[in-house]
Copies of this chain bind each other. A is one copy, B any other.
Amino acid sequence: MSLIVTGTIGIDTVVTPNGHGEKILGGSCTYFAAAANFYGPVRLVAAVGGDFPAEFLGTLGHFRGIDLHGLEVRKNSKTFAWGGKYHADMNTRDTLFTELGVLAEAPPKVPALYADSTIVFLANTHPGVQLGFLDQLPKRVFTVADTMDLWINIAKDELKALLKRVDGLVLNFDEAELFTGKSNPVTAGRHMLDMGPKFVVIKKGEHGALLVHRDGIAAVPAYPTENVVDPTGCGDTFAGGMMGSIAATSPSDGAAAGSYDSVRRALVHGTIIASFNIEAFSLDRLKTLDKKTLDARYAEYAAMMRV
């Protein structure tokens, strides 16, 4: 099925205990699409400003599966820029600065060419904007949205409206707790199921992810690694591997795409691709990753999980 992602492309400045990256390619759409690309084609809808470096376009173009027809370059605008600094444990970070740029303008439009998209990922942005994207995708059969604490705090009603219209929600554990007031992740997940979606994926960083689906629960551990350079984009590459693998294995049926077993297996693909992303800044690791190396780590993980 045809996979589409809407979200941000940004210029990041990232400081971690193991190094730093100055004005590097980032953004939720960027990481998602680069990861999904390993499973099949992915359509991208995002906006950048006239300051967006040609070099970054070249990097995106390197991923042959990424369809860039939906990339709006706004000559007189500025690209979204973000700076963050990770703490010693790599699990938490402080935002150093946020320059909204194009994100403060009207959201990009879904091109007519993409109107037949069936599998939709709404990367993290204002839930009102996410709802606007949904209205432009009448052929969608399977939709998953990401969100964050900011929208839970300032746009809870729109987020609840969104939840009635998506199959799945992806968010961090802290955000799930904030949203539901429940500190048990299974309870928090069930609480969100009551708001509409068929499943919720609660991300726990190095502790992996928890799937709370109407048809079952699953804990998916992260791939254990010592090679942690930059966690930025791991949530988005996780989602990219998840949605990419679903698009590749669910030829036409939204129900099959969203089944407990389909989503559970997809989380493993997400986990594995994210474990590569964390090994370098920006897309540096995914740029050099080949399918054989990806498959080998998947097999290693599968062996580790065999009960």
Q: Is the CB of B183 within 8 A of A88?
A: yes
Interface pick from A49-57, A140-148, A184-192, A231-239:
A184-192
Q: Is the CB of B222 within 8 A of A304?
A: no
Q: Is the CB of A219 within 8 A of B216?
A: no
Q: Is the CB of A226 within 8 A of B302?
A: no
Q: How many copies does the complex hold?
A: 2
Question: A217's contact among B216, B224, B268, B298, by CB below 8 Å, is which?
Answer: B224
Residues of B within 8 A of A94 (CB): none
1/0 contact string of A185-224 vs chain B (CB within 8 Å):
1110010000000000000101110100000111111111
Q: Is the CB of B225 within 8 A of A186?
A: yes
Q: Residue A228 at the B interface, CB < 8 A?
A: yes
What residue of chain B has the Cβ atom nearest to residue A204's Cβ? B207
Q: Is the CB of B268 within 8 A of A304?
A: no
Taken together as a complex, chains A and B put the C-alpha atoms of A264 and B300 apart, in Å, by 14
Q: Residue A307 at the B interface, CB < 8 A?
A: yes
Residues of B within 8 A of A224 (CB): 185-186, 210, 217-219
Q: Residue A305 at the B interface, CB < 8 A?
A: yes
Distance of A72 from chain B, by nearest CB (Å): 39
Q: Is the CB of B307 within 8 A of A183?
A: no
Contact residues, A67-118 vs B (CB, 8 A):
88-90
Q: Which of A185, A207, A221 has the most CB of B within 10 A?
A: A221
Residues of B within 8 A of A64 (CB): none
Q: Residue A156 at the B interface, CB < 8 A?
A: no
Residues of B within 8 A of A220 (CB): 221
Question: A221's contact among B208, B225, B301, by CB below 8 Å, is which?
Answer: B208
Q: Is the CB of B221 within 8 A of A187?
A: no
Distance of A248 from chain B, by nearest CB (Å): 16
Q: Residue A285 at the B interface, CB < 8 A?
A: no
Q: Is the CB of B226 within 8 A of A184?
A: yes
What residue of chain B has the Cβ atom nearest to residue A185's Cβ? B224
What residue of chain B has the Cβ atom nearest to residue A177's Cβ? B89
Distance of A163 from chain B, by nearest CB (Å): 21
Taken together as a complex, chains A and B put the C-alpha atoms of A305 and B228 apart, in Å, by 25
| Partner-B contacts on A (CB < 8 A) | 88-90, 183-187, 190, 204, 206-208, 210, 216-226, 228, 264-265, 268, 298, 301-302, 304-307
Question: A219-B221, A219-B223 are known contacts; what are 18 more A-B pairs with Cβ within 8 Å?
Answer: A88-B183, A89-B183, A185-B224, A186-B225, A186-B226, A187-B226, A207-B207, A210-B224, A216-B304, A218-B224, A219-B222, A220-B221, A221-B221, A264-B304, A265-B307, A298-B307, A305-B306, A305-B307
A-B contacts, 7 listed (Cβ < 8 Å): A184-B226, A217-B224, A219-B222, A220-B221, A264-B304, A265-B307, A305-B307
* Shortest 3 CB-CB contacts between residues of A and residues of B: A219-B221, A302-B307, A207-B207
